[in-house]
Structure 1
Amino acid sequence: MENQTNTSYTPGKRIQHLCKIHNLTQKELASRLNVAPSQISRILNEEIKNISSNILIALSKEFHISVDYILGLEPHITEYHSIPMWLMSTSFQPGECLQTIETLDNDDIKKMAYCEYYYFTGQHDKAVNISELYLNHPDSMLKLSACLIHTFANLSLNRINAAKGGLKSLKENLNQIFEKKADNQTIAMSVFVAVAAQTLLHLPLGKIPSLKNYLTELPVGMRLWGCYVLAHESYLKQEYEKSLGIIETCLTLTTKTYPIAMIYLNLMGAMDAMNLRKEDIAKKYFMDAWLMAKPDSLIEGIGEHHGLLQGLIETCIRNDYPEDYQKIIQITYQFSYGWRRIHNPATDENIADNLTTMEFTIAMLANRGWTNTEIASHLNITVRTVKQHLSSIFNKLNICNRRQLQIYMLK
C-alpha cells in the first residue's frame, strides 16, 4: 500500500493505482467484484460519474481501504494499513521477489515484507532483527506478522525462550482481536495467522474459529495457503486422497503465481502422493515446488517439511543442486531441533531427536511399510546401506524392530 496519494486523484485514477499495486488487470478486478469488465472500464475511464454503493463497498473490501479514500474524501489510506504476511499473499514471478518488495511505498509494510523474505530464505537472524521492531506496533496486522515470524525464526536459531515469548505474544494479540469482535476481514486474517502457527508447530493455541468459514474473506495468496492448511488437516487424518484433491483443485483454478503459497501447496501434494505410493507424481509436485523456490532461494518451507517428504529432497536435488541441498539440510536441522525442543515437552511426545536427516528419512519410510529394497531404490543407495542405517536408528532409539518406530516418527 502507498503511504500517500495525490489528493487530486479521481476515483478512477485511485482504483487504477490500487490495481497496479495489487497487480490486477481490469478483467481480474471485474471477476472478483462479479461485475462486467465493461463496467470496470467505464469507472476507470471516468465515464461513470457516480459509482454504485455496492461496487464501492466491494472495492473497499478487495483493496482493504475505506470508501472515503476511493472517493477522495481522505488523502491517505488510514482505515486499513496492511495485511499479515504480505509477501505470502502477493503474486509475483519467480526470481522477482525483491523487485516486488521494492514497489512498496509504505516503509513499515516494506520492512515486514523483507522480514518475510529473510525468513523464507532461511536468514533467521535478519528476520528476528526486523520482527523485534514490530512486536508492539500499533497496526495489529503488522504485529501479528511480527509475532509469527519472531516465533519461528527464533525457534530455528534455538532461542527457545524467545520463541515461546513470541508465541505468548501471538496468543495475547489474537485473543484481543477475537474479544473485540472486529470486522470479518480482520477476524479472517487473525484466524489465518493462528492456524498457520498451530499447523506448523502442532501446538494448540486455544479456541480458534474455523478457517473454512473465513477463506473467502482472505486475499488470494493467503487463501491458497489457507487451503494448504485444510489439506494438511486431511493429511494428518490420513485422508491423503482428499488432501491431494484440495491441492489439485487450488493449483488448477489459480491463474496467477503466488510463489510462497504454491511452494507449500506443492510440498503437501508431494507428501500426499508419497503416502499413496505414487512416487512419480510425488516427484513432480516436489520439483514444481523446487523450481518455484530456487530463483529467489525461498527454501525454508522445503527444509521444514524434510521428514514428511520421505527422501524426495535427496532423490530429486541432492546430486544436481549440491550447494542448495546443503542449505536446505542446514535449515532442516535448525528447524527440527528447535521444533522438537518446543514441541516434545509441550505435548509429552517423543519425536526422534538424535537421527541424521538420512536416518530420519529411512525411519519414516520404514515406518510406512517400505521394504529395504524399495527404500534403497527410492534413495538410490544399496540395500546394505539401508540395513546399516536401520541398525544405527534402532541403536539410537533403543528399540528392536520397525513396529516400535511409530512411537518416534512424525505422522
Structure 2
Amino acid sequence: MEYMTVREAARRWNVTERLVQRLCADGRIDGAVKFGRSWSVPAGARKPDDPRRASESLAASRRPRRTPGDHANLMPLMNAAFEPGHAREFVASLGAGPRADIARAELAYFTGQSDEAAQIAETYLASDDFEIRLSACLISAYANLPLGNIDRARRSLDDARNVLVQASLEDPRFRAAEGFIAQAASTLLHLPAPANAPGAQDVMPLLPTGLRAFAFYVQAHAVYLAGDYARSLGIAETALMGMEEVYPIPAVYLHLIVVMDLMSLRRTKEAREHLLAAWELARPDDLIEGFGEHHGLLGGMLEAVIKPVWPDDFKRIIDITYRFSAGWRRIHNPQTGDDVADNLTTTEFTASMLAARGWTNAEIAEHLGVSPNTVKSYISASLRKLGITRRQDLGRFMLA
C-alpha cells in the first residue's frame, strides 16, 4: 500500500497537520500507521466527515462555509479557507457583484498589485453595504501606502473609522468589526486607536474564523512591538494550532510574526521552518505582499532562505518592501516621533537591525551567507548614512 505523510495529507485536505494527527490517533483514518511520533496515511484516504459532496461543482466545493450575519462581506478572501493555489478559483466562484469585486481587490493587494487593488476599492468607498464599504476603505488605505498616496490612505482610514462608529451605534454586532479595524490601524500603522474602541477580548469571539485568525496576528504583533517576544510567540502559535481548516492569508501573517519573534529570541532554525511554512502557503497564489511588508522585521530570513532559491521572487519582494515602507514611514514617523531609517538599502537595514540586537559581524555573515568584511561594509555604510559613529546607536533608527 502507498502512504503519504501527515504534511501531504494536511495539504491535500486543506487542514492542519495537527488535525490529521488527531484524526489518526482517534482511529478515524482507516489504515493509518504510527511511526514514532507521527503517522503514515494511506495515499487514497479521504478526510473523515468531508463536507464536500461528489455532486458539488469545483467552485462550490471551494466556497467557505458561513452562516448569515457573520460578516460575510467583510474581507471575504482573507476570511476564506481556500486550498492553496486556488485563490483565483475561489474569487471566480463568487460570481459577479460587490463581494466578488472586494475579493478581487484583496487578491490584487496580497499579490503586490496595489494599483489594481486601489482602483477596484475606489468604486465601493461610498457603498450602501456597510461591510463592502468598510472593506473598500481598508484596501484603499493599505494599497495607497505603496503608491505614495498618503493623504488618500489617511482619508480611507478615517472613512473606515467613521463608518464603524455610525454602524456600531445602529447595530451592536458591528462592534467586533470596529475593534478589529481599530486594532489593526493602531498596531500596523501605529495610529492611535479611539478611546472607546472595543478591546481584543470583546472582538475575538464575535469575528468569523478567518478574521479572528488575522486579529490574533494583530494582537501578537502588538505584543511583539512591546518587546514581549515570548508572549507574542505564544499568541501566534496558539492561533496557528487552533486552526483546523487552513485560512492561507491569516496563516501566512501568523507564520511571519512567529519568524519575527523567533529571530528576536535568536532561535534561527525554528524561524527558518516557519518562514518556509509561510512561503509554502503563499507561493502557489503569489501572495507575496506580506513578505515585503515585514522584511525589516524578519531578521534577514528573506535573504537567507528566499533569495538563494527563488531570486526572482526575492527581487519582487524587495520592490514591495521599498514601496510599502516608504509610505508606511510617511505615516508612522510623524505620528510617533520615531525616526525609522529611510535611506538605507534593505540589506543595510537588515544587517543594522541584527547588529542593533547584539549580533556580531561574524554571526550576521553566517546567517546571510556573506563574508564578515561585507557585513562590516554594510554597517559602516549605515552609520555614515544615519550620521552616527557608534554601533550602539543603531537601535533608535531600526524597528527593534
What TM-score bracket applies, with the shorter chain setting the length?
A: 0.7 to 0.9
What residue number does 1:64 align with?
A: 68
What residue number does 1:160 align with?
A: 150
What residue number does 1:364 align with?
A: 353
What residue number does 1:193 align with?
A: 181
User: Map of 1:208-287 to 2, 5 A cutoff?
Assistant: 208-287=197-276
Which one of 381, 389, 400 corresponds to residue 392 of structure 1? Answer: 381
* Distance in 1 separating the partners of 2:376 and 2:247: 42
* Distance in 2 separating the partners of 1:324 and 1:92: 23
Aligned to 1:393, the other structure's residue is in SS state: helix
Q: What amino acid is aligned across from residue 317 of structure 1 in structure 2? A: I
User: Map of 1:344-363 to 2, 5 A cutoff?
Assistant: 344-363=333-352
Instruction: Render the CA deviation track for 1:86-112: whole Å, top value 9, x for unaligned.
Output: 111110111000101111145110000
2:66 touches 2:72 (CA, 8 Å); kept in 1? no
How far the C-alpha of 1:357 sits from its partner, in A, is 0.2
Aligned to 2:308, the other structure's residue is in SS state: coil
Change in Cα spacing, 1:212 to 1:324, as seen in structure 2 (3 Å) is same
TM-score (norm 2): 0.81
What residue number does 2:94 align with?
A: 104
Aligned to 1:174, the other structure's residue is in SS state: helix
1:289 matches 2:278: yes
Instruction: Render the CA deviation track for 1:151-191: whole Å, top value 9, x for unaligned.
Output: 1111111111211221221222222234x15233x211222
What residue number does 1:118 align with?
A: 108
How far the C-alpha of 1:367 sits from its partner, in A, is 0.5
Ranges in structure 1 where 5+ consecutive residues have no aligned partner:
1-22, 29-40, 42-60, 66-79
1:131 touches 1:150 (CA, 8 Å); kept in 2? yes
Give percent identity, aligned residues only.
Answer: 44
Q: What amino acid is aligned across from residue 289 of structure 2 in structure 1? A: E
1:81 touches 1:139 (CA, 8 Å); kept in 2? no
What residue number does 2:322 align with?
A: 333
* Distance in 1 separating the partners of 2:134 and 2:282: 25
Q: What amino acid is aligned across from residue 196 of structure 1 in structure 2? A: A
* Distance in 2 separating the partners of 1:95 and 1:219: 22
1:271 touches 1:308 (CA, 8 Å); kept in 2? yes
* Distance in 1 separating the partners of 2:395 and 2:170: 42
1:354 touches 1:396 (CA, 8 Å); kept in 2? yes
Aligned to 1:381, the other structure's residue is in SS state: coil
What residue number does 2:127 align with?
A: 137
Q: What amino acid is aligned across from residue 175 of structure 2 in structure 1? A: I
What residue number does 1:319 align with?
A: 308
Number of aligned positions between the proteins: 339
Which one of 186, 194, 208 corresponds to residue 206 of structure 1? Answer: 194
Q: What amino acid is aligned across from residue 68 of structure 2 in structure 1? A: H
1:174 touches 1:194 (CA, 8 Å); kept in 2? no
* Distance in 2 separating the partners of 1:201 and 1:278: 27
Instruction: Render the CA deviation track for 1:271-329: whole Å, top value 9, x for unaligned.
Output: 11101110000000111001111000001011000000010000001011011001100
Instruction: Render the CA deviation track for 1:68-123: whole Å, top value 9, x for unaligned.
Output: xxxxxxxxxxxx88431111111011100010111114511000000000000010
What residue number does 2:9 align with?
A: none
1:364 touches 1:410 (CA, 8 Å); kept in 2? yes
Which one of 79, 95, 101 corresponds to residue 89 of structure 1? Answer: 79
* Distance in 2 separating the partners of 1:196 and 1:298: 19
1:171 touches 1:205 (CA, 8 Å); kept in 2? no
1:84 touches 1:193 (CA, 8 Å); kept in 2? no
Q: What amino acid is aligned across from residue 148 of structure 2 in structure 1? A: N
Ranges in structure 2 where 5+ consecutive residues have no aligned partner:
1-13, 20-48, 50-64
Aligned CA-pair RMSD: 2.0
* Distance in 1 separating the partners of 2:284 and 2:296: 23
1:144 touches 1:193 (CA, 8 Å); kept in 2? no
Q: What amino acid is aligned across from residue 249 of structure 1 in structure 2? A: T
Bigger CA radius of gyration:
1
